[in-house]
Amino acid sequence: MKTRKFFLLALCFLSLKGIQAQTAEEIVEKHVKAIGGREKLNAVKTLKMSGKFTVQGMDLPTTVYFKRQNSIRQDMTFQSLTISQAYDSKTKSGWKIEPMEGDKNAQKMGPEELTAMEDVGEALIGPLTNYKEKGQIIEFVGKEDMEGTDVFKIMLTKKNKDVSYFFIDATSYMILKESSKMKFQDKEIEAESYFSNYKVYDGITLATTEEDKQGGQLVTQTHMDTVEVNGPVDDGLFVMPPRVEVKEAPKTDDKKEVKKDGGK
């Protein structure tokens, strides 16, 4: 009798696991449909978005360029200086220009920065849109209350075993929050991104406002005013610019040569 009860409990457990996995797929499919549908999302070849990037109370005009497959570039302006960071999917390399550091030449990104840029490019058309094709796994964690809104919590495990959690509105199926752990200077920090002000552009729905927090503290805010879908975006934008050497002006001797004979 005990053996039979154990067998029935095991069957129930397996059935619940199957329902849980199915629920995760259903939630993600409803999310993908809500933001435009997989066919329309995959038809997006380029994006150009302009707005402002806020950090430490300063508003910096910013423009973001995206092009398949996941090439991305962001330019920000601060006191007539242009700060840039880019990832070129063709060469799988990233670079940045930080003139405030005293060098206007492009520098190669480190491994952690490179991974972060790749993730941003993928996320622009929905981080869950093509999870199967990327070899990623989703799991339904549960239903929660997020500041008065019911949300589904979905865990995404990437091929490199990195894990992110997505909080999806149970009514609109929009992603309201993403949380993950990131390494910074050999320390692991909890990073959270909050998404809002969703708007429709050419049939796809994008969040135009993002707030990023680390360790619970607000770090940056981004708000996009204009979005252009499938407009012209040149491949050259993502290529690392060649180094420009600043040549010093030749030194001149202002002293006049004095002749031994007194100049006579």
pLDDT in tens, 57-113: 999 999 999 998 889 999 999 988 999 999 998 999 999 999 988 888 999 998 888
Task: Enter the tokens of residue 63.
Answer: 């423009």
- Examine the pLDDT at 198 and tell me if it is beyond 90: yes
Task: Enter the tokens of residue 179.
Answer: 């949380």
Cα distance between residue 103 and residue 176, in whole Å? 38
Task: Enter the tokens of residue 115.
Answer: 């991974």
Q: Worst-scoring range by mean pLDDT, 9-13, 33-37, 109-113, 140-144?
A: 9-13
Cα distance between residue 135 and residue 130, in whole Å? 9
C-alpha torsion angle, residues 184, 72, 69, 132 (rounded to 10)? 40
Give the pLDDT band of residue 157 (cuts 50, 70, 90). Answer: very high
- pLDDT at res. 258: 47
What is the CATH code for 13-238?
2.50.20.10
Cα distance between residue 29 and residue 23, in whole Å? 10
Q: Is 80 exposed, middle or buried (0-12, 13-18, 19+ CB in 10 A)?
A: exposed
- For residue 123, give the nearest of 61, 4, 207 by alpha carbon: 207
Residue 134 phi, psi (nearest 5):
-90, 0
Token look-up 């993002």 returns: 210
Cα distance between residue 29 and residue 178, in whole Å? 17
